[in-house]
Amino acid sequence: MANDTKALLPQAAEGRVSKPAKWTTKSRVFFLLKFYWTFYVLFWLLPRLICEHFGPSSPPGGYVDPDGACPQVDALEPAGANGELWANLSALYAEDSYEKRAISWLSGAVRVPTETYDDMGPVGEDERWDTRGPFHEYLLEAFPTIHSSLKLTKVNTYGLLYEWPGTDSTLKPILLMGHQDVVPVNPDTVDQWAHPPYSGYFDGESIWGRGSSDDKSGLIAILATIETLLEHKFQPTRSIVLSFGFDEEAGGPQGAKPLAEFLLDKYGKDAFALIIDEGAGYVEQFGGIFATPGIGEKGSANVKIEIHTPGGHSSIPPKHTSIGMLSSLLVHLEANPFPVHLSRGTPVYQTLQCVAAHAPDVPPKLRRALVKGRKSDRQLRKAEEIVFENNALKALAGTTQAADIVAGGVKSNALPEQATALVNHRIATDSSLKDLRAHYPGLFKHLASSFNLSYTAFDATILDSKATFGDLIVSSPYALEPAPVTPTDADAKPYALLSGSIRTTYAKRREAKGLEAEKVFVAPGIMSGNTDTKYYWDLSKHIFRYNHHNQGTGGLGRIHTVNESMESESFLEVILFFTTLILNADSADL
């Protein structure tokens, strides 16, 4: 609108001005002024005011992304011989007999409780790992063709690594990930489950139980896909590698970490065309269906704050004890949160821009601020204000802090010689551990000085004096940088391949079931936590956390708690998704 008006203004004016010959200079000037004024109000000022107040309208069928802020690739169907196989398999997956088979694959996997606890010792010492043995036996029995055809390596006893070499070794392989373990079921809540948590019960609609969604649906869907492809004599051109950890729910130190090291050693840096691990699916937002593959993960760090002061009898206390000082520090910390901004280029910004570009029912005020915010900083701040009313979105966009553990003192009549707190930070994708660490020296310096404490932050001396009352030490026992952000620009072929595969899968599954399909849009997304991919950054620049769940039908909402379940229809679509992706990637230029 604004550009057209600009072009219109000088052209129209010139055309009219050259006409009348008999006019005096005075009348000419007067006319010109009047003329320009009219044009200015009609074509320049008014449209601007209208835009400010009502925003871009949303035509039926969705707002048409005018400046390509969220381009969509077309649905991508496998071509050639793979296309024929794909059509056959999409039809097969809609048959009752196959659906039954898929449901029984997942039910059986849920029936083996592969619980992970936070305090588990090394594999081989802690017996609680042993549940993985029966799980492997189950997989061997359920997927015989895979186990007679693919090379299986067990890394650190229970890590599963399957390799299916393609005929063209010059093509970078694809890597599909998942995890075998589940979070424990709280014994006090077993009777609150609609069906027992390790029953794998199928009620005609959903498979119930711990792991039915997170993440046995992902792992089993991948294996179901490969088993079926093998049964149909598919021979990949591009190699396929499967890597399944067994302690993701405890951060993956004994599963994913050694698996990643093994892969790095064998295949090398950036050896994989793309990596897909558990993650988001698709869901309706403001009237549009959006699939949001995670292209980034926030960083994470625990910061330990310790105060050491002399002990003594509490009948003659100093003005502040270690506990009192620590309390002041924590109050000050909470009073000074990290500033949060919606920055251009971040995954959260990209998700919002896609929604603004394609969802029909975005509130006009928000859409206007987001669309204009692509160029105007003022409008971006406006968008930020609206968006951050949602605390969860604000937390996803910024660096957060939560004081989660405090400890100090031992006895009512003894002064506490030390007090400690543990603060958990989740670091924004456009920030870093360096930024986080830089925050602390200034934050506590004046308090440390007023309490007469020496101050060391991350091994650097901030305040030092021979004569101090005690010590303040800030350190970081655990720290993980934000993940590198996966490219999604026009040159990013893996993102385009994934997007096209998602759109095709969504349409094809509905076609095979005789249902109507609206369009699905693909928007870059962000994971709120860290998956096993945190060990895999060096293996590919194209990492996606995505498993094509229908988030509108349960599943994801109940992971890690009572009544976890997976709708069979959604599960069958996940199998079609992996099938489509593998067949599309097979000979694609990636």
3-state class of 66 per DSSP?
coil
Q: Using CB distances below 5 to 8 A depending on partner kind, what does residue 564 bind out of ligand NAG, Zn ion, none?
A: none
Of the candidates 435, 415, 416, 417, the one whose C-alpha atom is nearest the C-alpha of residue 425 is 435
Q: Using CB distances below 5 to 8 A depending on partner kind, what does residue 302 bind out of ligand NAG, Zn ion, none?
A: none
Binding letters toward Zn ion, positions 276-315, x by CB under 5 A: --x-------------------------------------
- Closer by beta carbon to ligand NAG, 153 or else 192: 192
Burial 557-577 (b: 16+ CB within 10 A, else e): eebeeebbbbbbebbbbbbbb
Q: DSSP class of residue 414?
A: B
467 binds ligand NAG (CB under 6 A): yes
Least Å distance, CB 194 to ligand NAG, is: 3
Pairing state between β 525-527 and 288-291: unpaired
Q: Choose one: 103-111, 272-280, 298-306, 352-360; the region binding Zn ion (CB under 5 A).
A: 272-280
- Among 4, 52, 74, 84, which residue sits at the site for ligand NAG (rule: CB under 6 A)? 84
Q: Using CB distances below 5 to 8 A depending on partner kind, what does residue 215 bind out of Zn ion, ligand NAG, none?
A: Zn ion
Residues 185, 298, 575, CA angle at the centre, nearest 5°? 55
Least Å distance, CB 227 to Zn ion, is: 22
Annotated active-site residue in 215, 247, 248, 567: 248
Q: Using CB distances below 5 to 8 A depending on partner kind, what does residue 467 bind out of ligand NAG, Zn ion, none?
A: ligand NAG
Burial 188-217 (b: 16+ CB within 10 A, else e): eeeeebebebbbbbbeeebbbbbbbbbbbb
Q: Specify whether 181 is catalytic.
A: yes
Size, binding site for Zn ion by CB under 5 A: 3
Q: Using CB distances below 5 to 8 A depending on partner kind, what does residue 214 bind out of ligand NAG, Zn ion, none?
A: Zn ion
- Among 104, 328, 468, 475, which residue sits at the site for ligand NAG (rule: CB under 6 A)? 468
Looking up tokens 């000050």, which residue turns up? 332
- Among 154, 232, 266, 446, which residue sits at the site for ligand NAG (rule: CB under 6 A)? 232
Q: Using CB distances below 5 to 8 A depending on partner kind, what does residue 297 bind out of ligand NAG, Zn ion, none?
A: none
586 binds Zn ion (CB under 5 A): no
390 binds ligand NAG (CB under 6 A): no
What is the C-alpha to C-alpha distance for residues 276 and 542, in angstroms, rounded to an integer?
Answer: 9
- Closer by beta carbon to ligand NAG, 58 or else 454: 454
Alpha helices in 18-67 (DSSP H): 25-39, 46-54
Question: How far is Cα of residue 290 from the mean position of the Cα atoms in its chain?
Answer: 14
Of the candidates 567, 570, 558, the one whose C-alpha atom is nearest the C-alpha of residue 185 is 558
Annotated binding-site residues for Zn(2+) read 179, 214, 249, 277, 560
Whether the CB-CB separation of 214 and 221 falls below 8 Å is answered with: no
Q: Name the residue type at position 576.
A: L
- Closer by beta carbon to ligand NAG, 419 or else 463: 463
Least Å distance, CB 531 to Zn ion, is: 7
Least Å distance, CB 196 to ligand NAG, is: 12
- Closer by beta carbon to ligand NAG, 387 or else 559: 559
What is the C-alpha to C-alpha distance for residues 135 and 160, in angstroms, rounded to an integer?
Answer: 11
What is the C-alpha to C-alpha distance for residues 109 and 142, in angstroms, rounded to an integer?
Answer: 9
Phi, psi of 559 (to 5 degrees): -70, 150
215 binds Zn ion (CB under 5 A): yes
The total number of residues shown for the chain amounts to: 590
Annotated active-site residue in 77, 181, 227, 306: 181
- Closer by beta carbon to Zn ion, 54 or else 117: 117
Q: Specify whether 227 is catalytic.
A: no
Binding letters toward ligand NAG, positions 187-226, x by CB under 6 A: -----x-x--------------------------------
- Among 104, 452, 475, 553, which residue sits at the site for ligand NAG (rule: CB under 6 A)? 452
Q: Using CB distances below 5 to 8 A depending on partner kind, what does residue 53 bind out of ligand NAG, Zn ion, none?
A: none
Burial 32-55 (b: 16+ CB within 10 A, else e): eeeeeeebeeebbeeeeeeeeeeb
Question: How far is Cα of residue 292 from the mean position of the Cα atoms in its chain?
Answer: 8
316 binds ligand NAG (CB under 6 A): no
Alpha helices in 154-215 (DSSP H): none
Q: Using CB distances below 5 to 8 A depending on partner kind, what does residue 194 bind out of Zn ion, ligand NAG, none?
A: ligand NAG
Looking up tokens 């692509």, which residue turns up? 374
Q: Exposed, middle or buried, 141 (CB in 10 Å: 0-12/13-18/19+)?
A: exposed
469 binds ligand NAG (CB under 6 A): yes
- Closer by beta carbon to Zn ion, 278 or else 564: 278
88 binds ligand NAG (CB under 6 A): yes
3-state class of 80 per DSSP?
helix
- Closer by beta carbon to ligand NAG, 185 or else 383: 185
- Closer by beta carbon to ligand NAG, 217 or else 563: 563
Q: Exposed, middle or buried, 351 (CB in 10 Å: 0-12/13-18/19+)?
A: buried
A 10 A CB-CB count for 187 gives 7
Q: Choose one: 80-88, 130-138, 154-162, 374-382; the region binding ligand NAG (CB under 6 A).
A: 80-88
Catalytic machinery residues: 181, 248
Contact residues for Zn ion, defined by CB under 5 A? 214-215, 278
Per CB under 6 A, residues contacting ligand NAG are: 81, 84-85, 88, 192, 194, 232, 452, 467-469, 562-563
